[in-house]
Amino acid sequence: MTIDVSPVNTVAPLRNVALLADLVERVANRPSGLPGMGCFHGPSGYGKTFAAIYAANRHRAYHVQVKSVWTRKKLCLAVLLEMGVQPAGTIPDMVDQIGQELSLSRRPLVIDEADFLVSKGMIEVVRDIYESSQGTVILIGEEQLPQKLKVWERVHGRMLDWVGAEPGTLADTRHLAKLYCRGVVTADDLQKELHEKSAGSVRRICVNWDRVREKAEAADIKEIDLATWLRLGGEFFTGNPPPRRTF
């Protein structure tokens, strides 16, 4: 069994957290004359938002998460709010403000859920921000984001690198047990089974560890292996829809 129940409150060891943090660092420290945009992409559930929050904290980056209903104005307002800058009255002036702040602060801008910017034709605003600052701009989105950006050559051509998020590893699964199954010692066979059933989704790994914690607390036990999990009627969340009920 893995006997490690010390408090853990960081996602730093996760594979995709490290990949994004490295991308931000490489783009921010690029040689003069090289483009200053990067893209981190991957399927839903791979922990990209975990990674974005960590990278923003580590690199003191400005971080915004785009919503499907946002407009160009709302995007600019959200970035300026994150920067603590009083917004100007027009979108062009707000873009200049953002560019100036990025240039002066030399802090990266991390934009999560960037697919929405592409689908709504708002990605050129990000290019304008980059051109105004020549700073560091990182886009985070779904697996097909690089292909979607090919349509926008003036954005696509300013990418220094593309990094794909990877499925959660067994090491990720073991670390997330310390975050989402605290106070419970988990056996190697349970860790491996949970990792397999979660199919690489960091989100499902977290959900499943929370299920294990609930079962262990309900049974008033501090250690759990696969046999005990099954005896308690435990079922892992796989993302598959439930079978159709028959009456």
Please check whether residues 88 and 190 belong to one and the same domain: no
Please check whether residues 225 and 157 belong to one and the same domain: no
pLDDT confidence of 245, banded at 50, 70, 90? low
pTM attached to this predicted model? 0.90
Mean pLDDT score across all residues of the chain = 93
pLDDT tens figures, 5-51? 333 457 878 999 999 999 999 999 999 999 999 999 999 999 999 89
**Full domain range(s) for residue 71:** 15-164
The percentage of the chain sitting over the pLDDT mark of 70, rounded to a whole number, equals 94
Give the residue, 6 or 200, on which the prediction is more confident. 200
Q: What is the pLDDT of residue 13?
A: 86
Please check whether residues 20 and 39 belong to one and the same domain: yes
Contacts of 165 (CB under 8 A, 6+ apart): 16, 19, 20, 40, 41, 42, 43, 46, 47, 48, 51
C-alpha distances in angstroms, 217 versus 164, 185, 212, 214? Answer: 37, 12, 9, 5
Please check whether residue 63 lies inside any domain of the structure.
yes
Please check whether residues 99 and 213 belong to one and the same domain: no
Contacts of 172 (CB under 8 A, 6+ apart): 13, 14, 15, 47, 202, 205
Please check whether residues 160 and 177 belong to one and the same domain: no
pLDDT confidence of 239, banded at 50, 70, 90? confident
pLDDT tens figures, 136-174? 999 999 999 999 999 999 999 999 999 999 999 999 999
The total domain count for the chain is 2
Residue whose pair of structure tokens reads 């960037």 in the numeric block = 114
Please check whether residues 42 and 127 belong to one and the same domain: yes
Would you say residue 4 has pLDDT above 70? no
Please check whether residues 30 and 152 belong to one and the same domain: yes
Please check whether residues 111 and 205 belong to one and the same domain: no
Please check whether residues 160 and 42 belong to one and the same domain: yes
pLDDT confidence of 81, banded at 50, 70, 90? very high
The percentage of the chain sitting over the pLDDT mark of 90, rounded to a whole number, equals 90
Please check whether residues 225 and 190 belong to one and the same domain: yes
Please check whether residues 48 and 150 belong to one and the same domain: yes
Q: What is the pLDDT of residue 6?
A: 35
Please check whether residues 128 and 209 belong to one and the same domain: no
Tell which of 111, 129, 164 closes a domain.
164
Tell which of 164, 183, 198 closes a domain.
164
Q: What is the pLDDT of residue 242?
A: 66
